[in-house]
C-alpha cells in the first residue's frame, strides 16, 4: 500500500491514501469496541458457569430428599429447594440473555464497520473510474508530447497500469466485504432468534417459581405445619383415588373393542420426543409393585417421571390439543390438571398432574413446545409427571359423574379402551 501511495500522479496519490484511511481507521476503532464487549461476554460466561454449579448443587440436595420418607417436612424442604433452584436458573437465563444482547451489539458494530467501508470504497472507486476514463480518452501521442521525457511518459503509463491492478484488488476486497456483511446479518438474525427463545424460557421459569411458591404456601395452609394433618391428607387422597379408580375401571371395561394395528405406527424408538429435559422413571408402564397397590385394574396406564413442581413439560410430538383440564381439580381424582394431544400418526399423548397448563383446546403445538408445568394435582403422592400414550381411536373424555363417582363428580378425565393403552417407552 505504501508503494501505491508513492505515486507521482497527485490524483492517484490522493485516492489511494484515502482508501488506506477507509480500510484501516474503522478497523482500529471497531477492535477497541469489540474487545470491551468481549470482556463483558467473558465475565457473563463466568457468572453463568458459577450459577449452573449452584443449580447442580440444589439438584443434588433434591435427589437426596427424594429418597427420604414422604413427610411434611421433607415435602416442604423439597419445595423450598425447588424455589431456590428455579431462582438460580432464572439468573442463568438472565445472564445468557445479557450475553446474547452483547453479542448482537458486537455483530452490529461489525456490520456498521463494513457498511461504512463499503460506502467509502464505492465513492472512491467511482471517482477513480471517472479519472481512468478521462486518462484513457487522452491519445498516447498527447501523453508523450506533454511529458518532459519519454521515460516519464512510460512511468506514468506504468503507474496507470499498477493503479488498474490495485483497483481490481480493491473491487475484489469490496465483494468479500459484502459477503461478510451478509454473513454477519445472518448471525444477528440467529442471535436475535436465540434471544427471543431465552426470553420465553425466562417467562416459563418465572412462572415455575410462582407455582412452586404457591404450592408451598397451600401446603402450609392446609396442614398448619402439622405432620398428623399432612398424613391425614395423604390418606384421604389415597382413599378417594381408590374409589375413583374402581369406577373408572368398570367404565373402561365396557369400552372393549378390537385395536386396529394399522391405525398406529409400529413401535420403535424415536417416534416420540422426551416430555422432560431429564428423565428419571419412578413407575413403569403396566403391572408394577405400585400399580397393584394403587389401581383397581392392577396396571399402570403410563410412565411416571420424577419432576419437581414447576418443571417445564414438553409435547412429545407435534399435534393438536384435544382437551385440557386447567381449573377444576380435586385431590384423588386421577390426573388433576392435564393436557391431551392428538398426533397425525394415530397416537395421542397425555401429560398429567400438572401445576399449570399453557395451552388450550384446539391449539396446534410443535414437538418439544412447552404445554405445561409439572406438579402434584389429582392423585399424586408427590410431584411427578404422568406421561401416557394411547391409540387415538380408543380415547374418551368423560366427566367423572358418568363413572358414578360421587367424590369426583364434575371432574373431567380421560378414559380409554384397555387395549388402547400403549407403552410410552416403546416409542421414546
**pLDDT tens-digit series, residues 159-191:** 666 766 776 777 777 777 777 777 877 777 787
69 and 186 housed in the same domain: yes
203 and 284 housed in the same domain: no
290 and 211 housed in the same domain: no
383 within a domain of the structure (yes/no): yes
Residue 338: C-alpha distances to residues 205, 249, 283 (Å): 19, 19, 18
Of 200, 215, 230, which residue constitutes the final position of a domain? 215
Phi then psi dihedrals of residue 264, to 5 deg = -130, 155
Helical segments of 67-149, H only: 72-136, 140-146
Beta strands in 274-334 (DSSP E): 281-283, 303-306, 312-314, 319-325
In the block, cell 490495485 appears at 166
pLDDT at site 153: 57
129 and 272 housed in the same domain: no
pLDDT at site 272: 96
278 within a domain of the structure (yes/no): yes
267 and 346 housed in the same domain: yes
What would you report as the CA-atom Rg of the chain, rounded to the nearest whole angstrom? 35
Q: Smallest Cα–Cα separation from 30: which of 99, 95, 106, 88?
A: 106
- Distance linking the first and last C-alpha atoms of the chain: 63
pLDDT at site 323: 94
188 and 307 housed in the same domain: no
133 and 271 housed in the same domain: no
309 and 386 housed in the same domain: yes
Domain of 129, in residue numbers:
4-215
pLDDT at site 149: 57
pLDDT at site 270: 94
240 within a domain of the structure (yes/no): no
362 within a domain of the structure (yes/no): yes
In the block, cell 390439543 appears at 321
Domain count, the chain: 2
Burial 66-85 (b: 16+ CB within 10 A, else e): beeeeebeebbbbbebbbbb
199 and 327 housed in the same domain: no
pLDDT at site 1: 40
Residues in the chain, pLDDT under 70: 1-32, 34, 44, 48, 51-52, 58-59, 61-70, 121-161, 163-164, 167, 241-243, 245-247, 249-258, 286-299
Amino acid at each position: 500500500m505504501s508503494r501505491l501511495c508513492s505515486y507521482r500522479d497527485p490524483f492517484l496519490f490522493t485516492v489511494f491514501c484515502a482508501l488506506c484511511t477507509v480500510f484501516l481507521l474503522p478497523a482500529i476503532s471497531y477492535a477497541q469496541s469489540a474487545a470491551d464487549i468481549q470482556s463483558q461476554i467473558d465475565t457473563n460466561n463466568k457468572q453463568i458457569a458459577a450459577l449452573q454449579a449452584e443449580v447442580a448443587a440444589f439438584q443434588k440436595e433434591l435427589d437426596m430428599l427424594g429418597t427420604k420418607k414422604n413427610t411434611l417436612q421433607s415435602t416442604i424442604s423439597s419445595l423450598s429447594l425447588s424455589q431456590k433452584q428455579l431462582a438460580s436458573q432464572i439468573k442463568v437465563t438472565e445472564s445468557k440473555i445479557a450475553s446474547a444482547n452483547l453479542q448482537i451489539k458486537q455483530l452490529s458494530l461489525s456490520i456498521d464497520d463494513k457498511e461504512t467501508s463499503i460506502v467509502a470504497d464505492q465513492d472512491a472507486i467511482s471517482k477513480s473510474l471517472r479519472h481512468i476514463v478521462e486518462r484513457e480518452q487522452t491519445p498516447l501521442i498527447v501523453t508523450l508530447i506533454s511529458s518532459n521525457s519519454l521515460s516519464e511518459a512510460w512511468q506514468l503509463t506504468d503507474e496507470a497500469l499498477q493503479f488498474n491492478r490495485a483497483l481490481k484488488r480493491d473491487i475484489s476486497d469490496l465483494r468479500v466485504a459484502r459477503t461478510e456483511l451478509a454473513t454477519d446479518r445472518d448471525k444477528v438474525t440467529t442471535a436475535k432468534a436465540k434471544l427471543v427463545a431465552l426470553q420465553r424460557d425466562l417467562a416459563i421459569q418465572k412462572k415455575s417459581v410462582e407455582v412452586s411458591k404457591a404450592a408451598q404456601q397451600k401446603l402450609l395452609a392446609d396442614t398448619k405445619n402439622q405432620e398428623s394433618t399432612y398424613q391425614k391428607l395423604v390418606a384421604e387422597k389415597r382413599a378417594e383415588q381408590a374409589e375413583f379408580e374402581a369406577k373408572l375401571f368398570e367404565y373402561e371395561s365396557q369400552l372393549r373393542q378390537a385395536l386396529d394395528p394399522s391405525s398406529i405406527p409400529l413401535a420403535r424408538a424415536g417416534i416420540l420426543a422426551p416430555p422432560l429435559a431429564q428423565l428419571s422413571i419412578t413407575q413403569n408402564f403396566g403391572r408394577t409393585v405400585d400399580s397393584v397397590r394403587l389401581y383397581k385394574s392392577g396396571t399402570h396406564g403410563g410412565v411416571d417421571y420424577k419432576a419437581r413442581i414447576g418443571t417445564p413439560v414438553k409435547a412429545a410430538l407435534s399435534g393438536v390439543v384435544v382437551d385440557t383440564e386447567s381449573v377444576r381439580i380435586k385431590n384423588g381424582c386421577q390426573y388433576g390438571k392435564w393436557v391431551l394431544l392428538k398426533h397425525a400418526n394415530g397416537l395421542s399423548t397425555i401429560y398429567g398432574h400438572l401445576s399449570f397448563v399453557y395451552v388450550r383446546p384446539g391449539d396446534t403445538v410443535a414437538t418439544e413446545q412447552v404445554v405445561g408445568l409439572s406438579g402434584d394435582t389429582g392423585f399424586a403422592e408427590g410431584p411427578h409427571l404422568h406421561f401416557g400414550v394411547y391409540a387415538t381411536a380408543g380415547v374418551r373424555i368423560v366427566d367423572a359423574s358418568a363413572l358414578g363417582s360421587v367424590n369426583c363428580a364434575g371432574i373431567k378425565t380421560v378414559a380409554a379402551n384397555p387395549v388402547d393403552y400403549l407403552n410410552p417407552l416403546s416409542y421414546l
